[in-house]
Amino acid sequence: MAPREKTKGEVSDLKAKLAAVIKTGTLPQPKDGKGGSSGKGSASATPKDTQTIKRGLFKSILHYMTINVDMSGLFTQMIIASTPTNDIVLKKMLYLYICTYAQQKPDLTLLAVNTLTKDCGDSDPTVRGLALRSLCSLRVPNLIEYLLQPLKTGLSDRDAYVRRTAVLGVLKVFRLDPNIVEELELELKLKEMFANDQDSQVVANSLSVLQQIVRSPQDLITKPVVYSLLNRLKEFSEWSQCAVLEFVSNYRPEDGDETFDIMNVLEDRLQHSNSALVLATIKVFLHLTIAIPDIHQQVLERIRGPLFTMMHNKGPEISYTVASHLRLLVERAPMLFSQDYKQFYCRYNDSIHVKKVKLKMLTSVADESNAYDIVNEICEYATDPNETISRESIKAVGTIAMNLGQTADGLVERLLSFLDMNMDHVTAETYIVMADMVRCLPDQVEKCVDALALLKSVEVVSPEAREAIVWILGAYGDRLQEAPYILETMVLGFDEDHARTQLALLTAAAKLFFKRPPECHRLLIDVLEKGSESANQDVHDRALFYFRLLKRDIQAASQVLGSAPPTTATFGEQLGSDLKDALFKEFNSLSPLYGEPASNFVAGDEEIEYEIDLYENAGGENGAQGGEDANGGAAYADTNLLDLSDDLASLAAPVADPQAQASAAQPPPQQAAPPAPQDPMALLDMLDVQKPAVPVAPVAPAVRLSPSPSMDAGKFQQLWGSLANQDSFVVSSPQVRARVPELANSMKAIGVITMASGGQEPVYKFYQYAQQEGANSVYLVELIANTQGGALSVTCKSDSAALIKPFASFYQQSLTSYVT
């Protein structure tokens, strides 16, 4: 039996059973072989039996709901079968069912409103609260008038449970219609309850709701309110205490005495077993004393103990959370924690994430007094079985050495000793760190360059490491006799290298050419030839740029390529003071864990999500062929490819214009390198000996895309259905899943703009367009990404029959370079 038929059968069976229970109070009897009743169980069922049968049927229905089987067709039977009843279990199951399908069946939901309204006046407070909660959870705007009176009555109910439920119900009404809350003066009622209600949970719920519905939450933070909450703090549940303390953290005391009074009241919360409550208390202490430096430092000293205890004695999740918050404090005041560096040593049972945070804290607290002890400990982690921790430890040693500056001689030697470990990832990460180190520590260049003398480039396979090696050789190759010959060896495998390594080789060969021309002229010609033949557009363009620059003006090329390597004291990856302050304000939230303010990862209400309507057969046979059907492109004429009204959020995020970025980030003038040892014209002649005749791009030079094309959705839809010139291809790669999120941004960098995109795992669709520079020719692209199969199915269309093939080849090569 097909799954759909089976589902229909189950719904029909349950419907028949409900009908029988409604009519006879028992389940239908099975028939005997002659078509009659078997006679078993024919006696009338007792009320208790009927109740048991109903419970069983309701449980079955809820079970199917949880596995996403549509049970909305039983709406009427469910309501009839459950009324009248005093069984609280049946009521809870019925209310859950009604709330689930209320928006889908708003007309039928009206039948259940009378039942819910009646139960809101039940003598049992549990039933009253349950009915009121369900009534407020219907989320049907047309039925809001039916819940207002029960809600107002619930706010004044004699039972605290009902009042708690009613307070939360105000927020649900506010989200449906904010004007009603204002018209009925429910906000004033909540403020009254917040100030005078005897039940602590009602007060906590009122605080939570008021913070979300009042226009200015800051107006709630007054001295009487704060004092009232603090005096009743121990009456609240742990969750409510956290909410209250978050509220109090925004209060600013009038003087120092008031600050001490509040901290004295909260002192015992620092010893609480609940880590969330401890962090909330710490946030109050930190924010209260932020304007009093001396007291703030004392607070930091006071909270170290609780934080260390939670980081070491809790589970991995809490340990990571506490460590992330502790890291924020360590980076704000490293000297205060410098004597506690052993607290940050990794333990054998620490999770990988905790170890990474501890390594970052160790780099922050390292100074001249403890750096060598810390580095000795970190060096032990370089052989960790986990490659991530091993790499992070090597990076930490390099960071400490760069932070110490002139006193880092011994630390640099410890770093270079990692090259003798004969572990691929250790060696690779060491070279990467060396490239950063020579930029920060010019006096350590000789040691790092000498370490490359015995390098066998074939043994280094990491693209990042090979890129770092090439950069060092290009920048400081004049100090290493073997530099040109190492680069020549690496150029032999140019075609197999990653694009980032190829780009580095082009630059290194050009830079080293001006320092050691007799030894590097052949190297430069070889790398330019290979670069001009590369299928990667970036590599191809850089090779042509260098060739034309050298050909046109050798002096200008010397200034551009032969300048001294830059030095820097800091890197962009380090947290700036502004970011640290922003994270400090959001202490005890997700921001310290993510390392960025909440505005970066929490979408605001004003954020617009562009959506796309995917075809039902996107992952099927047609999807694999780029979406074309048997009739070609004509089938798209009646289908809105750019329908943005569905529920699939766009993956394409707007990015800055790459040309605008390039123009806004012009490099500052740099000091020219010393004159080359030979006459510039002789160097040019040397370059011309065996230069490539005319470097030709293998990706069709006729394709030149405009950096800022424009097209609206209607025009795209019209052209897609009418253009006949098309080409299709499929690109396969195991990296498709990882590359899909940034695919739109990557394509924009080459002039292909994403009009709309969307989908859900494992199939995503992208609709893109581009325009020929200096012409009216346009290109349209449909890309279907199957992350499960690792395939990208592409269909390209154009109004130019001559350009469709070159564009498809250009797009295929760019896409292949991105995903491989």
Examine residue 384 and state whether it is found in any structural domain, yes or no. Answer: no
Q: Is the dihedral of CA 701, 702, 705, 706 positive or negative?
A: positive
Q: Is the pLDDT of residue 618 over 60?
A: no
Which of 367, 364, 356 minimizes the C-alpha distance to 394?
356
At residue 179's C-alpha, the angle toward residues 175 and 183, to 5°, is 130
Encode pLDDT of 241-280 as tens digits. 999 999 999 999 988 899 999 999 999 999 999 999 999 9
Residue 218 token pair: 């800051």
For β-strands 753-760 and 725-732, DSSP reports them as: unpaired
Q: How far is CA 27 from CA 8, 24, 279, in A?
A: 19, 8, 56
Residue 512 and residue 483 in contact, taking contact as beta carbons nearer than 8 Å: yes
Residue 621 token pair: 């046979």
Residue 335: other Cβ atoms inside 10 A:
8
pLDDT at 73: 84
- Compare 652 and 777 and report the one with higher pLDDT: 777
Residue 590 and residue 598 in contact, taking contact as beta carbons nearer than 8 Å: yes
Encode pLDDT of 639-653 as tens digits. 343 332 332 232 233
Summarize the confidence of residues 373-395 as an average pLDDT. 94
Examine residue 217 and state whether it is found in any structural domain, yes or no. Answer: yes
Residue 443 token pair: 């006096």
Examine residue 568 and state whether it is found in any structural domain, yes or no. Answer: no
Return phi, psi of residue 569, to 5°: -100, -20
- CATH number of the domain residue 237 falls in: 1.25.10.10
Query: What range does the domain containing 228 cover?
Result: 3-27+45-250
Residue 471 and residue 504 in contact, taking contact as beta carbons nearer than 8 Å: yes
- Compare 669 and 153 and report the one with higher pLDDT: 153
| DSSP SS3 for 440 | helix
How sure is the predictor about 17, in pLDDT bands with cuts at 50, 70 and 90? confident
- Compare 750 and 360 and report the one with higher pLDDT: 360
Residue 42: other Cβ atoms inside 10 A:
9
Our count of domains for the chain comes to 2
Residue 734: other Cβ atoms inside 10 A:
9
> Which residues partner with 793 through β-bridges?
730, 784
pLDDT at 668: 41
One-character DSSP codes across 700-739? -TT--B-SS----HHHHHHHHHH--EEEEEEEE-TTHHHH
Examine residue 446 and state whether it is found in any structural domain, yes or no. Answer: no
Which of 148, 89, 85, 142 minimizes the C-alpha distance to 119?
85
HEC string of 531-595?
HHCCCCHHHHHHHHHHHHHHHHCHHHHHHHHCCCCCCCCCCCCCCCHHHHHHHHHCCCCCHHHHC
Cα dihedral value 636, 642, 645, 646, nearest 10: 70
Summarize the confidence of residues 73-83 as an average pLDDT. 82
pLDDT at 45: 63
Strand stretches in 522-661, DSSP E: none
For β-strands 778-786 and 753-760, DSSP reports them as: unpaired
How sure is the predictor about 52, in pLDDT bands with cuts at 50, 70 and 90? confident
Examine residue 605 and state whether it is found in any structural domain, yes or no. Answer: no
8-state DSSP, 458 = G
N-to-C CA span, the chain? 43
Last residue of a domain, which of 250, 274, 290?
A: 250
Q: Is the pLDDT of residue 332 over 60?
A: yes
d(CA 360, CA 323): 10
Q: Is the pLDDT of residue 673 over 60?
A: no
Q: Is the pLDDT of residue 622 over 70?
A: no
d(CA 17, CA 6): 17
pLDDT at 629: 38
Encode pLDDT of 191-229 as tens digits. 999 999 999 999 999 999 999 999 888 889 999 999 999
Summarize the confidence of residues 162-167 as an average pLDDT. 96
Q: What percent of the chain has pLDDT over 90?
A: 45
d(CA 564, CA 442): 12
Summarize the confidence of residues 361-365 as an average pLDDT. 95
Which of 456, 469, 504, 524 minimizes the C-alpha distance to 690?
524
Q: Is the pLDDT of residue 417 over 80?
A: yes
Residue 224 token pair: 């009487």
Q: Is the pLDDT of residue 168 over 80?
A: yes
Instruction: Please return the burial class of 304, using the count of CB atoms within 10 Å of its CB with bins 0-12, 13-18 and 19+.
Output: middle
Return phi, psi of residue 759, to 5°: 140, -175
How sure is the predictor about 504, in pLDDT bands with cuts at 50, 70 and 90? very high
8-state DSSP, 763 = E
8-state DSSP, 757 = E
pLDDT at 570: 62
Last residue of a domain, which of 228, 250, 272?
A: 250
One-character DSSP codes across 35-78? SSB--TT-SPPPHHHHHHHHHHHHHHHHHHHHTT---GGGHHHH
Examine residue 778 and state whether it is found in any structural domain, yes or no. Answer: yes
Summarize the confidence of residues 459-470 as an average pLDDT. 91
Which of 703, 718, 716 minimizes the C-alpha distance to 774?
703
pLDDT at 469: 94
Is residue 626 left, alpha or beta, with left meaning phi > 0 and alpha meaning psi from -120 to 50? left
d(CA 781, CA 779): 7
- Burial track 554-581 (b if 16+ CB lie within 10 A, e otherwise): beebbebbbbebeeeeeeeeebeeeeee
Examine residue 352 and state whether it is found in any structural domain, yes or no. Answer: no
Encode pLDDT of 709-763 as tens digits. 888 888 888 888 888 889 999 888 888 887 888 888 888 888 899 988 887 778 8
Return phi, psi of residue 797, to 5°: -135, 150
One-character DSSP codes across 502-528? HHHHHHHHHHHHHHSHHHHHHHHHHHH
Place of tokens 């990015």: 655
Lowest mean pLDDT among 107-121, 300-314, 642-656, 679-693: 642-656
| DSSP SS3 for 535 | coil
How sure is the predictor about 430, in pLDDT bands with cuts at 50, 70 and 90? very high
Examine residue 363 and state whether it is found in any structural domain, yes or no. Answer: no
d(CA 601, CA 287): 24
Going across the sheet that includes 791-798, the strands are 725-732, 791-798, 778-786, 763-771, 753-760
Q: Hey, what long-range contacts does 357-362 have (CB within 8 A, 24 or more apart)? A: 357/320, 357/323, 357/324, 357/327, 358/323, 359/389, 359/392, 359/393, 359/396, 360/327, 360/396, 361/323, 361/326, 361/327, 361/330, 361/337, 362/396, 362/400
Residue 397 and residue 378 in contact, taking contact as beta carbons nearer than 8 Å: yes
Return phi, psi of residue 455, to 5°: -65, 135
Alpha helical stretches, state H, 383-440: 387-404, 409-416, 424-440
Residue 239: other Cβ atoms inside 10 A:
13
Which of 749, 784, 794, 751 minimizes the C-alpha distance to 769?
751
Q: How far is CA 677 from CA 4, 435, 680, 682, 683, in A?
A: 81, 27, 9, 10, 10
| DSSP SS3 for 627 | coil
d(CA 471, CA 435): 7
Q: Is the pLDDT of residue 317 over 80?
A: yes
Residue 174: other Cβ atoms inside 10 A:
18
8-state DSSP, 629 = B
Q: Is the pLDDT of residue 34 over 50?
A: no
Q: At what angle do helices 409-416 and 371-381 cross, to 10 degrees?
A: 10
How sure is the predictor about 163, in pLDDT bands with cuts at 50, 70 and 90? very high
How sure is the predictor about 674, in pLDDT bands with cuts at 50, 70 and 90? very low
Last residue of a domain, which of 198, 233, 250?
A: 250
Which of 804, 551, 816, 544 minimizes the C-alpha distance to 696?
544
Residue 217 token pair: 């939450």
